[in-house]
Amino acid sequence: MRLVTSMAWASCVTFVMSVANASPLTDFSAEYAFMRIDRVRVADETRTPKFYRHTLTLQAGIDGFTFGLIGVRTDRGAETPAEPESGLMLSLGYSAPISDWLLWEARARVPLTPHTNERSPLYAADADLLGKVVAFAPDGWGPLNLAVSPSLSAGAMVNRFGRLQLFFGAGLWWKGLGVYATGLTSLRGIENPLALGPEDVGGWAAVENRLVTLSVSYDLDLGMQHRLRFEARKNIPLSNAGNDTVGVLTYRFFFDAEIAP
Amino acid sequence: MKRAWATFVCGVSLLTTFDAFAWERVKAELRPGVRVVRETEETLIVQAPEVERVIVLSRSRDADCDIRVDLRWRRGGTPYRVWEATPTLKRALPLPIWGRFFSVRFLKVLRRP
C-alpha cells in the first residue's frame, strides 16, 4: 500500500508540475462501463447470483501520463434487495512506446471514498497497481493499406491485500475492429472462498482465481480529434471467478491528434 | 506458469519475425524499373527511369529528406508506422511524378504535407 501511495503522490506531483509548466493536455476521455454477472464458479461449484456494476471513468492525459477519476456503483438487482455499494477512486497511469515494437504501461488506483465493503465479491479496488508490456507490429501483417495489427501483452497486477495476478493476452486489430483474448491467473490468494473466515483480510478481493476474457472492440474515428470506442467483454471463469459480461462505451478527445514517441 | 511464459516468448519472437523492416515494406511498393541507389538502416534512396531527381526516405527525424518514416501513437491503441511526404518533396517533384516511383497503394497511405 505504501508503494501505491508513493506512486500516486509521484504521479500527482508530475501532473501538477506539467500543468504548472503549461504543458498542453494531449487527450481527455469519458468512459461508461456496465457489468453483469449471473454465474460464478467458486471452489468447483457453480452459483447463480445477480450482480451489476456501473463504472464511470473520466481521464485526462498529458503526454504519457493519465490522471483519472473513477466512480463505481454496484447492486444485486431487484431480486435480492441489498444496499447498493459505491466508491470513488483516483487513477494515475503512464504508458509510452519504448521501442519500435514494445509499449509499456503502469497504472495505480487509490480509493478516495471507499464506501464499498471490502468483503463484497464486487469490491471495486481489485487492481490497485498494474504493470504491463505490449508487443506490437507497427507495420502490421499484409498489404500496407489493409494490414492487420497483431499484439501480445503480458503483465501483473497486485491489489491492496497482496493478491498477485498475472495475465497474458493476444489481439488482432484491423481497420478499427479489434479482437482480443486474455488469460489471467493469481499467484497467491485465498483458495477456498466458501470458507472465508473473519481473519481472512480482504474477503473476495483476496481470493485466488483464474479466468479467460474474450473481447471485441470497434474504434470509430470522427475526424482526427474525436474517437468513440464500443467494446464488449465476456469472462470465462475457470476458478473462483464470474461470467462477467461487460459493455463499454468510451469517448476520447485528442488535443494533439497524435503523439510521436 | 512456465508454459505461459514460453508461449509469450514464442509469440514475441513470432511478432519480431513478421515485423518486416520498414524498407522492405517500401521496396515491395516500388514501380517496376525503380532502382534502389543507396540503402542504410536510416536511409533509402530510390531513382525512377527518366526522372533526374532521386527520392530520399529517412527514419531519422533530424534528416532533410523527401519522405519521413516515423512511429505514432494515440492513447488507447498501439503505435503504428506513418509515411509522411515532406514539403521538400512537394516542392521538388509534382504529384504525378511520385506515381513513377511508388504504387497507388503506397501513395494512398503516404501522408501529404
How many CB atoms within 10 Å of residue A92?
23
B19 vs A220, residue with greater confidence: A220
Q: Which amino acid is located at A196 in the chain? A: L
Q: Please tell me if residue B80 touches chain A, with a CB cutoff of 8 Å.
A: yes
CA distance B15 to chain A (A): 6
Q: Return the closest-CA partner of residue B67 out of B101, B35, B37.
A: B101
- Which three-class secondary structure state does DSSP give residue A119? coil
**Dmax of chain A from CA atoms?**
59
Mean pLDDT of chain B: 86
Helix, strand, coil percentages, rounded to 5, for chain A: 10, 55, 30
Q: Which of A145, A150, A219 sits opposite B15 (nearest CB)?
A: A150
Q: How is residue A181 written as a grid cell?
A: 483474448
Q: What is the mean pLDDT of each run of 10 residues along chain A (261 residues)?
A: 52 53 79 92 83 93 92 79 78 91 92 70 67 91 85 91 90 94 89 73 77 96 91 92 93 81 62
> In this predicted structure, what is the pLDDT of residue A11?
58
Burial state string for A222-256 with b = 16 or more CB within 10 A and e = fewer than 16: eeeeebebebebebebebbbbbbebebebebebee
> In this predicted structure, what is the pLDDT of residue A213?
96
CA distance B88 to B70: 17
CA distance A184 to chain B (A): 10
| H/E element, A173 | strand A164-174
Q: Which CA distances in Å does B82 have to B2, B39, B69?
A: 37, 19, 6
Q: Please tell me if residue B27 touches chain A, with a CB cutoff of 8 Å.
A: no
> In this predicted structure, what is the pLDDT of residue B58?
93
Interchain proximity A185–B19, CB inside 8 Å: no
> In this predicted structure, what is the pLDDT of residue B48?
94
Q: Please tell me if residue A260 touches chain B, with a CB cutoff of 8 Å.
A: yes
**Mind listing the pLDDT tens digit for each residue in B98-109?**
999 999 999 998
Q: Return the closest-CA partner of residue A229 out of A257, A203, A252, A260.
A: A252
Radius of gyration (Cα) for chain A, nearest Å? 19
| H/E element, A12 | helix A2-20
CA distance A171 to B15: 12
The burial of A116, by beta-carbon neighbours within 10 Å (0-12 exposed, 13-18 middle, 19 or more buried), is given as buried
Q: Please tell me if residue A136 touches chain B, with a CB cutoff of 8 Å.
A: yes
- Residues A165/B28, Cβ–Cβ less than 8 Å: no
> In this predicted structure, what is the pLDDT of residue A1?
47
Interchain proximity B78–A183, CB inside 8 Å: no
- CA B71 and chain centroid, separation: 11
Q: How is residue B112 written as a grid cell?
A: 501529404
- The ipTM assigned to this model is 0.77
Across the beta sheet with B80-85, what order do the strands follow?
Answer: B35-39, B43-47, B55-58, B67-72, B80-85, B110-111
Percent of chain B with pLDDT over 70: 85
CA distance A86 to A84: 7
Instruction: Write phi, then psi, for A45 (nearest 5 degrees).
Output: -115, 150
**Mind listing the pLDDT tens digit for each residue in B77-88?**
888 889 999 999
